[in-house]
Structure 1
Amino acid sequence: MDDRTSPEQDAGGARRGRGSAGGAAARRAARGGGGPGQSLTYIRRLIKPYEVLDEEGISLIEANADRVLEEIGIEFRDDAEALELWKEAGADIKGERVHFPKGLCRELLKSAPAQFTQHARNPARSVEIGGDNTVFVPVYGPPFVRDLDGNRRYATLEDFRNFVKLAYMAPSIHHSGGTVCEPVDVPVNKRHLDMVFSHMRYSDKPFMGSVTAPERAEDTVEMCRILFGKEFVDNNAVVVNLINANSPMVFDETMLGAAKVYARANQATIITPFILAGAMSPVTVAGTLTQVLAEVLAGAAFTQLVRPGAPVVFGTFASSISMQSGAPTFGTPEPSLVSFGAAQLARRLNLPFRTGGSLCASKIPDAQAAYESANTLNTTVLAGTNFVLHAAGWLEGGLSACYEKFMMDIDQLGMQQKMAEGVDLSENGQAMDAIAEVGPGSHYLGCNHTQANFQTAFYRSSIADNNSFEQWQAEGEKRAEERANLLARKWLETYEAPDLDPGIHDGLRDFMAKKKESMPDAFT
């Protein structure tokens, strides 16, 4: 299964300032109730990343990856320009297979930034990708949705817009994402225009671009120039884009074409081997890490051949397969170890890192979905991941985007954001005045410190029911997914679009109309 099409895909400052969401947010706050709450900025982690490899282990993986690059090579298929660029850089070209002298890729990657800003049209929503920062991003690529009426069906453009709206309203989602679901009711050759426009119109958070064809990547860049201004786009990253290796050890012409478009425009790419271990990589953690590193080194270095300094992210999508059925599995130990190890390798390369999310194989938002998603998400955060794709809404191995799962996931993301703040060691955090006031044998419920901190002391879930059995019964005995369903409906009913400059809006609409008129509809 290709990562692009199912589990993973598919005037400057003054003008941008007028596109902010401040007015709509203020109106929601004034109404009170029913809203999603105050938006959170991207995470600045204060907890150290967890590491599974010592120096000897990580050096071994790096040495093995160098052997793969030099002795086995990586194929760059159906792209003569890519092969010529590698030849000029000193690689050995044999047909479409590129063999890399030891150290070549790492030397090229010295021009890639360790951290970069992805600008949003509302500057307050811009995110820092890299370093100690974590950005949560919605699900990407499902052709199906599980809708609010409990039906599994093909996704539509209305579903796409709904997920963009929910991500915009979600405090713990920092990014609008990309192909949050595949709107199959729109022609294949035109739907990228509607998707990119939806991110620009219905949200003011950062977003991802189209990669399903080089010309669709070009359209994304042109729409960004309308939204942000041409000069601003040339000098700043305003869109992040998913470039998948066709594992094992192949980059095809579609991904290479999109990567070239975005790198030349100085826009960010995430080079991601799509790994189902046992099918697309070896069954072992060390073997998978070796292949992941080799593929990322080749793909990320290629972006620097196209334009030195273009932002690039070390990505990995790691899962294993059932050796009985061949189906992908999630939330299991081995992919977690791959994610931990890959994060270490990314830090060694001084590149931002992407992995993980709230992944599961369950067909409905049940206990299996919760366990598998929690196992994956905990690993993702503890690994020190910078860009977390599929953080909310993923179901059925990425084949479905689910409204209830989306709401349940964003609740968990809020908890992870709290976790990443670490331990408060300020005077208030030490709470010595509370300990002295209460003394032995009493309780803290009424002390001054508790009264001053009770509203923010603990994370309060928007989904979990912590009331008595009797109260739960009186309120209809609702399951978690039922509460999530009601919350999603409430948010969509109260949604208000962020302001967008009318001139920019009309410019985007005109561009889309001309592009659509230039070609007949195609559904394949």
Structure 2
Amino acid sequence: MDQIIQKRNRGTARSTRRAQRQKPSHQASPYIKRRVPVYDFADEEVLQLVEHNADSLLENVGVEFRQYPDALALFRRAGAMVTDEVVRFPRGMCREIIQASAPAEYTQHARNPERSVRIGGDHCVLAPAYGPPFVSDLERGRRYATLADFENFTRLTYMTPALHHAGGTLCEPVDVPVSQRHLDMIYSHLRWSDKPFMGSVTEPSRAQDTIDMANIVFGEEFVQHNCVVTSLINANSPMTFDATMLGAARVYAENGQATMISPFILAGAMSPVTVVGTCTQVLAEALAGLAFTQLVRPGSPAIFGTFSSAISMQSGAPTFGTPEPAMVLYICAALARRLKVPFRSGGSLSASKVADAQAAYESANTLQSAMLAGVHFMLHTAGWLEGGLVMSYEKFILDADQAAMINVFLSGIDTSENGQAMAAIHEVGPGNHFLGCAHTQANFESALYRSTTADNNSFEQWQAEGSQDASQRANRIWKKMLADYQAPPIDEGIDEALREYVAQKKAFISDSNA
């Protein structure tokens, strides 16, 4: 009997060690500390040309600030020329306003201080997809997203070490009225995750609800002096900001919270078909939006963002992963560095309807461009399908694997004594192998990235395990993650206060889908 117990214990120990070895080798970090140089795609002449042309647009064409008199008044007092709702800026005015106060980098604090992120400088933060009204998985296919789906993706993001930020509208919970769903989404971020998150921007009062709920968690005094929320503020390209986005941006900036000013571009429809023309328009729109945030509250965190893709000149459909948007990304990243503000772009963008080869190569093209360009905040890193209409459970897992590789690559090269491995080379010598040497034995559990989704086994073993493709393996992974999920701890009093706030607000908000 003792021998049976000993054998069982030995078998259990082997299984435990094997399970540990099969875990991803990358250790979790709250954000990436970049240790590799960026790729400078465009030379000084190109960058100066774009800056000159953008200033000309701001001076001669102007930007429309639609149905938002407060913005017109702010710019008029700052010295801009206002005609109806169009603001024209003296050459260099926006850049001077931004560089006088906008921080080059800042910390967004998380509910769990160990998960706070640094945005800007030599840092990179990865966040999941934002905004899809649909979700999909292998069993149920494509369908409208629900609050249960939103909570699932909140949990999956929380459990994914390579995603440093919880993101925002992970999917639109269409089973909850538009007028109320922001309350459930913000509560989900604050309760089922402890990573930093993005706030509601669909109406200024909803932005204020986000601030109020953040005050409950962090305390009003802390919120007024520290960034705890990031917001996505899109330009209504070309050359327009609408009242909804401006109102939300004002709420966040007034409260010292971060605004991500992002022209949303589909070249050929919302900007010129050329790379330099698109970059010129993107820069002009970003300068105007960033300047607005600094006039509202100098020193409030602000990010130069861009979502730039193109349309097919044959069908008019959006395209992704093509060369021209990558060029725009590289150039805009360099322009943001010259402006000395953080930059947002990139993601696992694809027009594919399923997680197939098209989804893989289109996503890889955009992820790699963003990684090499020096993006500080990468939105849409995981889950994106069908041009952003779908948040896919399986693609989320596949993209998260790619995100983990980005974490490893950007962390740079180990040049320590262990990294040089000279002792190992001396030990093995010519004509032998490294499998049994002391250096390999000491490092094999942490050396070399281990994919969580790729199958590198023999054909026979793959066949014996069910002949599963990548999506089927990802399907198994996300289900196990949700089954294993444990909510992060939260103070019971804070949780109760959040629930009461949501209930009270819903009691006074009509059920509306506007």
Q: TM-score range by the shorter chain?
A: over 0.9
One-letter amino acid matched to 1:434: A
Residue 262 of structure 1 aligns to a residue whose secondary structure is helix
Q: Verify: 1:237 aligned to 2:227, yes or no.
A: yes
Mark the CA change 1:291 to 1:363 in structure 2 (over 3 Å): closer, same or farther: same
Aligned-pair CA distance for 1:466 = 0.3
Aligned-pair CA distance for 1:101 = 0.4
Alignment partner, residue 306 of structure 2: 316
Q: Which residue among 31, 48, 66 is the counterpart of 1:59? A: 48
Q: Which residue among 74, 80, 95 is the counterpart of 1:91? A: 80
CA distance in 2, matches of 1:413, 1:40: 12
Q: Which residue among 70, 90, 102 is the counterpart of 1:101? A: 90
Q: Which residue among 206, 209, 225 is the counterpart of 1:219? A: 209
Q: Verify: 1:377 aligned to 2:377, yes or no.
A: no
Whether the 8 Å CA contact 1:217–1:262 is kept in 2: the answer is yes
**Residues 144-174 of structure 1, C-alpha deviation per residue, up to 9 Å, x if partnerless?**
0003514100000000000000000001010
CA distance in 2, matches of 1:40, 1:312: 24
Aligned-pair CA distance for 1:308 = 0.3
Q: Which residue among 34, 39, 53 is the counterpart of 1:45? A: 34
Aligned-pair CA distance for 1:430 = 1.1
Give the number of aligned pairs. 495
CA distance in 1, matches of 2:246, 2:509: 24
CA distance in 2, matches of 1:461, 1:41: 20
Alignment partner, residue 294 of structure 2: 304
CA distance in 1, matches of 2:218, 2:287: 31
Alignment partner, residue 388 of structure 2: 398
One-letter amino acid matched to 1:56: E
Whether the 8 Å CA contact 2:137–2:475 is kept in 1: the answer is no
Alignment partner, residue 340 of structure 2: 350
Please show how residues 202-217 of structure 1 align to structure 2 within 5 Å.
202-217=192-207
Percent identity reads: 63
CA distance in 2, matches of 1:385, 1:339: 9
Whether the 8 Å CA contact 1:115–1:128 is kept in 2: the answer is yes
Q: Which residue among 71, 75, 82 is the counterpart of 2:60? A: 71
Alignment partner, residue 449 of structure 2: 459
**Residues 394-452 of structure 1, C-alpha deviation per residue, up to 9 Å, x if partnerless?**
00000000000000000011111111122211111111111111111111111111111
Alignment partner, residue 253 of structure 2: 263
Aligned-pair CA distance for 1:35 = 8.4
Residue 60 of structure 1 aligns to a residue whose secondary structure is helix
Residue 375 of structure 2 aligns to a residue whose secondary structure is coil
Whether the 8 Å CA contact 2:145–2:173 is kept in 1: the answer is yes
Alignment partner, residue 174 of structure 2: 184
Q: Verify: 1:114 aligned to 2:107, yes or no.
A: no
Please show how residues 25-44 of structure 1 align to structure 2 within 5 Å.
39-44=28-33
Alignment partner, residue 360 of structure 1: 350
CA distance in 2, matches of 1:423, 1:391: 24
Whether the 8 Å CA contact 1:157–1:183 is kept in 2: the answer is yes
Alignment partner, residue 492 of structure 1: 482
One-letter amino acid matched to 1:274: F
Unaligned runs of 5+ in 2: 1-15
**Residues 191-242 of structure 1, C-alpha deviation per residue, up to 9 Å, x if partnerless?**
0000000000000000000000000000000000001000000000000000
Please show how residues 369-518 of structure 1 align to structure 2 within 5 Å.
369-518=359-508
Please show how residues 13-24 of structure 1 align to structure 2 within 5 Å.
none
Whether the 8 Å CA contact 2:31–2:123 is kept in 1: the answer is yes
CA distance in 1, matches of 2:82, 2:509: 37
Mark the CA change 1:148 to 1:236 in structure 2 (over 3 Å): closer, same or farther: farther
Q: Which residue among 204, 224, 228 is the counterpart of 2:218? A: 228
CA distance in 2, matches of 1:41, 1:231: 24
CA distance in 1, matches of 2:233, 2:137: 29
One-letter amino acid matched to 1:103: G
Whether the 8 Å CA contact 1:139–1:389 is kept in 2: the answer is yes
Alignment partner, residue 15 of structure 1: none
One-letter amino acid matched to 2:492: P
One-letter amino acid matched to 2:498: L
Whether the 8 Å CA contact 1:35–1:494 is kept in 2: the answer is no
One-letter amino acid matched to 1:329: T
Whether the 8 Å CA contact 1:36–1:170 is kept in 2: the answer is no
Alignment partner, residue 130 of structure 2: 140
CA distance in 2, matches of 1:36, 1:267: 34
One-letter amino acid matched to 2:81: D
**Residues 287-324 of structure 1, C-alpha deviation per residue, up to 9 Å, x if partnerless?**
00000000000000100000000000000001011111
Whether the 8 Å CA contact 2:24–2:449 is kept in 1: the answer is no
One-letter amino acid matched to 2:64: E
**Residues 90-124 of structure 1, C-alpha deviation per residue, up to 9 Å, x if partnerless?**
00001100000011111111200000000001000
**Residues 253-295 of structure 1, C-alpha deviation per residue, up to 9 Å, x if partnerless?**
0000000000000000000000001111111110000000000
Mark the CA change 1:35 to 1:214 in structure 2 (over 3 Å): closer, same or farther: farther
Larger Rg: 2
One-letter amino acid matched to 1:70: E
One-letter amino acid matched to 1:235: H
Whether the 8 Å CA contact 1:140–1:389 is kept in 2: the answer is yes
Whether the 8 Å CA contact 1:36–1:169 is kept in 2: the answer is no
CA distance in 2, matches of 1:51, 1:157: 42
CA distance in 2, matches of 1:171, 1:498: 14
Whether the 8 Å CA contact 2:134–2:142 is kept in 1: the answer is yes
Q: Verify: 1:164 aligned to 2:154, yes or no.
A: yes
One-letter amino acid matched to 1:85: L
CA distance in 2, matches of 1:84, 1:148: 52
Residue 135 of structure 1 aligns to a residue whose secondary structure is strand
Aligned-pair CA distance for 1:36 = 8.1
Q: Verify: 1:82 aligned to 2:71, yes or no.
A: yes
Q: Which residue among 234, 250, 262 is the counterpart of 2:240? A: 250
Aligned-pair CA distance for 1:41 = 2.3
Q: Which residue among 143, 147, 153 is the counterpart of 2:143? A: 153
Residue 218 of structure 1 aligns to a residue whose secondary structure is helix
CA distance in 2, matches of 1:89, 1:118: 29
Residue 271 of structure 2 aligns to a residue whose secondary structure is coil
Residue 178 of structure 2 aligns to a residue whose secondary structure is coil
One-letter amino acid matched to 1:49: V
Q: Which residue among 299, 307, 325 is the counterpart of 2:315? A: 325
Mark the CA change 1:182 to 1:455 in structure 2 (over 3 Å): closer, same or farther: same
CA distance in 2, matches of 1:322, 1:97: 31
Residue 36 of structure 2 aligns to a residue whose secondary structure is coil
Whether the 8 Å CA contact 2:24–2:452 is kept in 1: the answer is no
CA distance in 1, matches of 2:138, 2:33: 34
One-letter amino acid matched to 2:46: G
Residue 78 of structure 1 aligns to a residue whose secondary structure is coil
Q: Which residue among 117, 129, 133 is the counterpart of 1:127? A: 117
Whether the 8 Å CA contact 2:128–2:167 is kept in 1: the answer is yes
Residue 189 of structure 1 aligns to a residue whose secondary structure is helix
